[in-house]
Structure 1
Amino acid sequence: MAFDNLLLQLLLKASQDKGFVCEEADRALNAMVKSMTPLPLLNKLRPYVSHSNPRVRAKAAITISNSVSKMGLEGMNEFGLVLLVQMAADLLNDRLPEAREAARNIVTCIYEAYNPKRGTEAGIMAKLLPN
Protein backbone atom coordinates (compact mmCIF):
# COMPACT_ATOMS: atom_id res chain seq x y z
CA MET A 1 0.00 0.00 0.00
CA ALA A 2 2.81 2.43 0.83
CA PHE A 3 4.51 1.65 -2.49
CA ASP A 4 1.24 2.32 -4.34
CA ASN A 5 0.96 5.73 -2.69
CA LEU A 6 4.59 6.50 -3.49
CA LEU A 7 4.12 5.51 -7.12
CA LEU A 8 1.01 7.67 -7.47
CA GLN A 9 2.81 10.65 -5.93
CA LEU A 10 5.78 10.20 -8.26
CA LEU A 11 3.49 10.04 -11.29
CA LEU A 12 1.61 13.13 -10.14
CA LYS A 13 4.83 15.05 -9.45
CA ALA A 14 6.37 13.93 -12.75
CA SER A 15 3.35 15.31 -14.57
CA GLN A 16 3.63 18.81 -13.07
CA ASP A 17 4.86 21.90 -14.88
CA LYS A 18 7.43 22.70 -12.19
CA GLY A 19 10.75 21.84 -13.81
CA PHE A 20 12.79 20.72 -10.82
CA VAL A 21 9.99 18.68 -9.22
CA CYS A 22 9.17 17.02 -12.54
CA GLU A 23 12.82 16.18 -13.27
CA GLU A 24 13.38 14.65 -9.84
CA ALA A 25 10.20 12.57 -10.04
CA ASP A 26 11.21 11.39 -13.53
CA ARG A 27 14.63 10.47 -12.17
CA ALA A 28 13.02 8.45 -9.37
CA LEU A 29 10.72 6.65 -11.84
CA ASN A 30 13.70 5.80 -14.05
CA ALA A 31 15.59 4.50 -11.01
CA MET A 32 12.61 2.25 -10.25
CA VAL A 33 12.69 0.87 -13.78
CA LYS A 34 16.42 0.15 -13.48
CA SER A 35 16.30 -1.37 -10.00
CA MET A 36 13.07 -3.39 -10.06
CA THR A 37 12.21 -6.44 -12.08
CA PRO A 38 9.70 -5.43 -14.75
CA LEU A 39 6.80 -7.73 -13.85
CA PRO A 40 5.93 -6.34 -10.38
CA LEU A 41 6.40 -2.77 -11.59
CA LEU A 42 4.12 -3.34 -14.59
CA ASN A 43 1.45 -4.77 -12.32
CA LYS A 44 1.64 -1.66 -10.12
CA LEU A 45 1.62 0.74 -13.10
CA ARG A 46 -1.23 -0.92 -15.01
CA PRO A 47 -4.10 0.99 -13.29
CA TYR A 48 -2.49 4.35 -14.10
CA VAL A 49 -2.81 3.77 -17.86
CA SER A 50 -6.49 4.65 -17.43
CA HIS A 51 -6.00 7.48 -14.91
CA SER A 52 -8.23 10.53 -15.38
CA ASN A 53 -5.23 12.88 -15.60
CA PRO A 54 -3.73 12.64 -19.13
CA ARG A 55 -0.26 13.61 -17.92
CA VAL A 56 -0.29 10.83 -15.31
CA ARG A 57 -1.35 8.41 -18.07
CA ALA A 58 1.54 9.60 -20.23
CA LYS A 59 4.13 9.24 -17.44
CA ALA A 60 2.79 5.79 -16.58
CA ALA A 61 2.94 4.84 -20.27
CA ILE A 62 6.55 5.99 -20.56
CA THR A 63 7.53 4.06 -17.44
CA ILE A 64 5.71 0.96 -18.71
CA SER A 65 7.47 1.31 -22.06
CA ASN A 66 10.85 1.53 -20.34
CA SER A 67 10.04 -1.58 -18.29
CA VAL A 68 8.82 -3.56 -21.30
CA SER A 69 12.04 -2.71 -23.15
CA LYS A 70 13.93 -4.64 -20.44
CA MET A 71 11.79 -7.75 -20.87
CA GLY A 72 12.21 -10.70 -23.14
CA LEU A 73 9.43 -12.66 -24.76
CA GLU A 74 9.13 -14.93 -21.72
CA GLY A 75 8.54 -11.98 -19.38
CA MET A 76 6.01 -10.47 -21.77
CA ASN A 77 4.15 -13.77 -21.90
CA GLU A 78 4.20 -13.97 -18.11
CA PHE A 79 2.68 -10.49 -17.80
CA GLY A 80 0.26 -11.18 -20.63
CA LEU A 81 0.81 -10.26 -24.25
CA VAL A 82 -2.87 -9.57 -24.75
CA LEU A 83 -2.81 -7.17 -21.80
CA LEU A 84 0.28 -5.40 -23.15
CA VAL A 85 -1.27 -5.02 -26.60
CA GLN A 86 -4.56 -3.78 -25.09
CA MET A 87 -2.70 -1.18 -23.02
CA ALA A 88 -0.75 -0.06 -26.08
CA ALA A 89 -3.92 0.11 -28.19
CA ASP A 90 -5.65 2.27 -25.58
CA LEU A 91 -2.64 4.56 -25.35
CA LEU A 92 -2.39 4.96 -29.13
CA ASN A 93 -5.61 6.98 -28.93
CA ASP A 94 -4.43 9.13 -26.03
CA ARG A 95 -4.54 12.90 -26.27
CA LEU A 96 -0.88 13.38 -25.37
CA PRO A 97 1.86 12.54 -27.88
CA GLU A 98 4.12 11.16 -25.12
CA ALA A 99 1.57 8.45 -24.34
CA ARG A 100 1.15 7.62 -28.03
CA GLU A 101 4.93 7.38 -28.50
CA ALA A 102 5.23 5.11 -25.46
CA ALA A 103 2.50 2.89 -26.93
CA ARG A 104 4.42 2.63 -30.20
CA ASN A 105 7.54 1.70 -28.25
CA ILE A 106 5.65 -1.04 -26.39
CA VAL A 107 4.42 -2.51 -29.68
CA THR A 108 7.93 -2.27 -31.15
CA CYS A 109 9.37 -4.13 -28.14
CA ILE A 110 6.79 -6.89 -28.58
CA TYR A 111 7.58 -7.12 -32.29
CA GLU A 112 11.32 -7.23 -31.65
CA ALA A 113 10.85 -9.96 -29.03
CA TYR A 114 9.05 -12.09 -31.62
CA ASN A 115 11.40 -11.19 -34.47
CA PRO A 116 14.88 -10.66 -32.99
CA LYS A 117 16.63 -10.69 -36.39
CA ARG A 118 14.34 -8.00 -37.75
CA GLY A 119 14.39 -5.84 -34.63
CA THR A 120 16.43 -3.05 -36.15
CA GLU A 121 14.01 -2.85 -39.06
CA ALA A 122 11.13 -2.50 -36.61
CA GLY A 123 12.90 0.36 -34.86
CA ILE A 124 13.43 2.15 -38.15
CA MET A 125 9.82 1.56 -39.21
CA ALA A 126 8.50 2.88 -35.88
CA LYS A 127 10.41 6.12 -36.44
CA LEU A 128 9.08 6.44 -39.97
CA LEU A 129 5.42 5.91 -39.05
CA PRO A 130 3.44 9.14 -38.77
CA ASN A 131 2.33 10.34 -35.35
Structure 2
Amino acid sequence: EMFVTLGKHMEADLDLIVPMLIKKSAETNGFIADEANRALMAMAASVSEGRVICALAACASHRNPQARAKAAIHLSRALESMGWRRVLQMKELDKVVQAFGALNSEGLSETRSATRHGLVSLIRESRGQCADVQERLERLLRRQLSEKDRRKLMDAVDASTAGTFPAALEDTSESPMTRRSSLRPSCASRHGTSAGTHRSHG
Protein backbone atom coordinates (compact mmCIF):
# COMPACT_ATOMS: atom_id res chain seq x y z
CA GLU A 1 0.00 0.00 0.00
CA MET A 2 2.89 2.37 0.68
CA PHE A 3 4.09 2.10 -2.93
CA VAL A 4 0.61 2.79 -4.25
CA THR A 5 0.07 5.72 -1.88
CA LEU A 6 3.51 7.34 -1.91
CA GLY A 7 4.67 6.35 -5.39
CA LYS A 8 7.91 8.06 -6.38
CA HIS A 9 8.41 9.33 -2.84
CA MET A 10 9.54 5.78 -2.04
CA GLU A 11 12.40 5.88 -4.55
CA ALA A 12 15.00 7.09 -2.06
CA ASP A 13 14.55 3.91 -0.02
CA LEU A 14 14.38 1.35 -2.84
CA ASP A 15 17.97 0.19 -2.35
CA LEU A 16 17.00 -0.95 1.14
CA ILE A 17 13.42 -2.07 0.56
CA VAL A 18 13.72 -4.07 -2.67
CA PRO A 19 16.46 -6.51 -1.52
CA MET A 20 14.42 -7.18 1.62
CA LEU A 21 11.27 -7.83 -0.43
CA ILE A 22 13.18 -10.07 -2.85
CA LYS A 23 14.46 -12.10 0.10
CA LYS A 24 10.95 -12.37 1.57
CA SER A 25 9.49 -13.38 -1.80
CA ALA A 26 11.81 -16.40 -1.80
CA GLU A 27 10.67 -17.67 1.62
CA THR A 28 8.89 -20.99 1.97
CA ASN A 29 6.06 -19.39 3.95
CA GLY A 30 3.45 -18.91 1.25
CA PHE A 31 1.70 -15.94 2.85
CA ILE A 32 4.92 -13.96 3.37
CA ALA A 33 6.16 -14.77 -0.14
CA ASP A 34 2.84 -13.77 -1.72
CA GLU A 35 2.75 -10.46 0.13
CA ALA A 36 6.35 -9.70 -0.87
CA ASN A 37 5.61 -10.52 -4.51
CA ARG A 38 2.58 -8.24 -4.46
CA ALA A 39 4.66 -5.45 -2.95
CA LEU A 40 7.31 -5.88 -5.66
CA MET A 41 4.70 -5.69 -8.40
CA ALA A 42 3.23 -2.56 -6.80
CA MET A 43 6.72 -1.07 -6.65
CA ALA A 44 7.29 -1.75 -10.35
CA ALA A 45 4.04 0.02 -11.22
CA SER A 46 4.51 3.00 -8.90
CA VAL A 47 8.06 4.34 -9.22
CA SER A 48 10.11 5.48 -12.20
CA GLU A 49 11.16 2.83 -14.70
CA GLY A 50 14.85 3.55 -14.32
CA ARG A 51 14.71 3.08 -10.56
CA VAL A 52 12.77 -0.17 -10.97
CA ILE A 53 15.49 -1.54 -13.24
CA CYS A 54 18.35 -0.43 -11.00
CA ALA A 55 16.75 -1.82 -7.83
CA LEU A 56 15.88 -5.21 -9.30
CA ALA A 57 19.10 -5.58 -11.30
CA ALA A 58 21.11 -5.01 -8.12
CA CYS A 59 19.46 -8.10 -6.62
CA ALA A 60 21.02 -10.30 -9.31
CA SER A 61 24.00 -10.67 -6.97
CA HIS A 62 21.95 -11.69 -3.93
CA ARG A 63 23.57 -14.46 -1.87
CA ASN A 64 20.43 -16.60 -1.89
CA PRO A 65 19.86 -18.47 -5.21
CA GLN A 66 16.10 -18.51 -4.61
CA ALA A 67 16.19 -14.74 -4.17
CA ARG A 68 18.17 -14.40 -7.40
CA ALA A 69 15.44 -16.40 -9.12
CA LYS A 70 12.80 -13.97 -7.86
CA ALA A 71 14.93 -11.03 -8.98
CA ALA A 72 15.14 -12.51 -12.49
CA ILE A 73 11.40 -13.12 -12.63
CA HIS A 74 10.41 -9.67 -11.37
CA LEU A 75 12.95 -7.92 -13.59
CA SER A 76 11.73 -9.78 -16.68
CA ARG A 77 8.08 -9.02 -15.84
CA ALA A 78 8.82 -5.35 -15.18
CA LEU A 79 10.66 -4.97 -18.48
CA GLU A 80 7.85 -6.68 -20.36
CA SER A 81 5.37 -4.23 -18.83
CA MET A 82 7.56 -1.30 -19.91
CA GLY A 83 7.80 -2.68 -23.44
CA TRP A 84 10.92 -4.25 -24.93
CA ARG A 85 11.23 -1.52 -27.57
CA ARG A 86 11.29 1.14 -24.88
CA VAL A 87 13.85 -0.79 -22.82
CA LEU A 88 16.19 -0.93 -25.82
CA GLN A 89 16.22 2.88 -25.86
CA MET A 90 16.85 3.33 -22.13
CA LYS A 91 20.20 4.24 -20.61
CA GLU A 92 19.67 1.42 -18.08
CA LEU A 93 19.90 -1.22 -20.82
CA ASP A 94 23.50 -1.92 -19.79
CA LYS A 95 22.33 -2.75 -16.26
CA VAL A 96 19.65 -5.05 -17.67
CA VAL A 97 22.07 -7.01 -19.83
CA GLN A 98 24.67 -7.13 -17.06
CA ALA A 99 22.11 -8.56 -14.61
CA PHE A 100 20.76 -11.07 -17.12
CA GLY A 101 24.30 -12.04 -18.09
CA ALA A 102 25.10 -12.84 -14.46
CA LEU A 103 21.88 -14.84 -14.04
CA ASN A 104 22.07 -16.72 -17.33
CA SER A 105 24.19 -19.57 -15.94
CA GLU A 106 22.30 -19.99 -12.66
CA GLY A 107 21.57 -23.48 -11.41
CA LEU A 108 17.83 -22.96 -10.87
CA SER A 109 15.79 -23.51 -14.01
CA GLU A 110 13.27 -20.77 -13.13
CA THR A 111 16.13 -18.26 -12.98
CA ARG A 112 17.47 -19.29 -16.37
CA SER A 113 14.00 -19.36 -17.92
CA ALA A 114 13.11 -15.83 -16.79
CA THR A 115 16.55 -14.56 -17.75
CA ARG A 116 16.53 -16.06 -21.21
CA HIS A 117 12.98 -14.89 -21.80
CA GLY A 118 14.23 -11.36 -21.18
CA LEU A 119 17.29 -11.72 -23.39
CA VAL A 120 15.40 -13.43 -26.21
CA SER A 121 12.71 -10.74 -26.11
CA LEU A 122 15.30 -7.96 -26.31
CA ILE A 123 17.13 -9.58 -29.22
CA ARG A 124 13.90 -10.31 -31.09
CA GLU A 125 12.65 -6.76 -30.63
CA SER A 126 16.00 -5.28 -31.68
CA ARG A 127 15.78 -6.97 -35.06
CA GLY A 128 13.08 -4.53 -36.10
CA GLN A 129 15.07 -1.50 -34.95
CA CYS A 130 17.79 0.50 -36.65
CA ALA A 131 21.45 -0.50 -36.78
CA ASP A 132 22.49 1.72 -33.87
CA VAL A 133 20.07 -0.03 -31.50
CA GLN A 134 21.15 -3.47 -32.67
CA GLU A 135 24.84 -2.65 -32.42
CA ARG A 136 24.46 -1.33 -28.88
CA LEU A 137 22.66 -4.47 -27.74
CA GLU A 138 25.15 -6.71 -29.52
CA ARG A 139 28.09 -4.97 -27.83
CA LEU A 140 26.49 -5.46 -24.43
CA LEU A 141 25.73 -9.11 -25.13
CA ARG A 142 29.29 -9.79 -26.27
CA ARG A 143 30.58 -8.15 -23.10
CA GLN A 144 28.38 -10.18 -20.74
CA LEU A 145 27.91 -13.57 -22.45
CA SER A 146 30.17 -16.22 -23.87
CA GLU A 147 30.02 -16.80 -27.62
CA LYS A 148 28.38 -20.18 -27.00
CA ASP A 149 25.61 -18.72 -24.84
CA ARG A 150 25.07 -15.85 -27.26
CA ARG A 151 24.71 -18.28 -30.16
CA LYS A 152 22.17 -20.34 -28.20
CA LEU A 153 20.10 -17.23 -27.61
CA MET A 154 20.19 -16.31 -31.29
CA ASP A 155 19.00 -19.81 -32.17
CA ALA A 156 16.20 -19.49 -29.60
CA VAL A 157 15.12 -16.19 -31.15
CA ASP A 158 14.99 -17.79 -34.58
CA ALA A 159 12.91 -20.69 -33.26
CA SER A 160 10.55 -18.70 -31.06
CA THR A 161 7.08 -17.54 -31.98
CA ALA A 162 6.26 -13.86 -31.57
CA GLY A 163 4.40 -13.05 -28.38
CA THR A 164 5.00 -16.36 -26.61
CA PHE A 165 6.92 -16.98 -23.39
CA PRO A 166 9.51 -19.69 -24.16
CA ALA A 167 8.53 -22.45 -21.74
CA ALA A 168 12.02 -23.90 -21.51
CA LEU A 169 15.12 -22.30 -22.96
CA GLU A 170 17.54 -24.44 -20.97
CA ASP A 171 18.28 -26.60 -24.02
CA THR A 172 18.42 -23.86 -26.61
CA SER A 173 21.25 -25.60 -28.45
CA GLU A 174 18.68 -28.16 -29.62
CA SER A 175 16.27 -25.54 -30.96
CA PRO A 176 15.88 -25.81 -34.74
CA MET A 177 17.23 -22.79 -36.58
CA THR A 178 14.41 -21.75 -38.84
CA ARG A 179 15.70 -18.47 -40.15
CA ARG A 180 18.48 -15.97 -39.55
CA SER A 181 17.10 -12.46 -39.87
CA SER A 182 19.10 -9.66 -41.36
CA LEU A 183 21.02 -8.11 -38.48
CA ARG A 184 21.50 -4.67 -39.90
CA PRO A 185 18.34 -2.99 -41.26
CA SER A 186 18.83 0.71 -41.80
CA CYS A 187 17.14 3.24 -39.52
CA ALA A 188 15.06 4.38 -42.47
CA SER A 189 13.62 0.88 -42.90
CA ARG A 190 12.91 0.20 -39.20
CA HIS A 191 9.15 0.34 -39.80
CA GLY A 192 9.25 -1.85 -42.87
CA THR A 193 9.85 -5.23 -41.26
CA SER A 194 9.21 -8.31 -43.33
CA ALA A 195 6.29 -10.60 -42.71
CA GLY A 196 8.64 -13.22 -41.33
CA THR A 197 10.20 -11.00 -38.66
CA HIS A 198 9.21 -12.00 -35.14
CA ARG A 199 8.21 -9.12 -32.91
CA SER A 200 7.36 -8.92 -29.22
CA HIS A 201 4.37 -6.78 -28.32
CA GLY A 202 5.77 -5.94 -24.90
Sort the TM-score into its range (normalised by shorter chain).
Answer: 0.7 to 0.9
Provide the residue aligned with 1:104 in structure 2.
Answer: 116
Q: Percent of aligned pairs with the same residue?
A: 28
> Structure 1 runs of 4+ off > 6 angstroms?
none
Alignment partners' CA distance in 2, 1:14 and 1:105: 20
8 Å contact kept, 1:39–1:75 = no
Q: Give the 3 Å change call, closer, same or farther, for CA 126–10 of structure 1 in structure 2.
A: same
Provide the residue aligned with 2:167 in structure 1.
Answer: 127
Q: Which runs of 5+ in 2 are unaligned?
A: 1-11, 129-156, 172-202
Higher helix share: 1
Aligned to 1:92, which of 104, 111, 115? Answer: 104
- What amino acid is aligned across from residue 167 of structure 2 in structure 1? K
8 Å contact kept, 1:72–1:113 = yes
Q: Give the 3 Å change call, closer, same or farther, for CA 57–71 of structure 1 in structure 2.
A: same
Question: How far has the Cα of 1:83 moved from its partner?
Answer: 3.9
Q: Normalising by the residue count of structure 2, what TM-score does the alignment of the two structures yield?
A: 0.55
Aligned to 1:30, which of 34, 38, 41? Answer: 41
- Is 2:25 the partner of 1:14? yes
Q: Give the 3 Å change call, closer, same or farther, for CA 106–3 of structure 1 in structure 2.
A: same
Q: Give the 3 Å change call, closer, same or farther, for CA 17–127 of structure 1 in structure 2.
A: closer
Question: How far has the Cα of 1:122 moved from its partner?
Answer: 4.7
8 Å contact kept, 1:92–1:103 = yes
Larger Rg belongs to? 2
- What amino acid is aligned across from residue 17 of structure 2 in structure 1? L
Q: Normalising by the residue count of structure 1, what TM-score does the alignment of the two structures yield?
A: 0.80
Equivalent position SS for 1:126: coil
Provide the residue aligned with 2:14 in structure 1.
Answer: 3
Alignment partners' CA distance in 1, 2:73 and 2:60: 10
Equivalent position SS for 1:127: coil
C-alpha root-mean-square deviation of aligned residues, in Å? Answer: 2.7
Equivalent position SS for 2:166: helix
- Is 2:125 the partner of 1:113? yes
- What amino acid is aligned across from residue 97 of structure 1 in structure 2? S
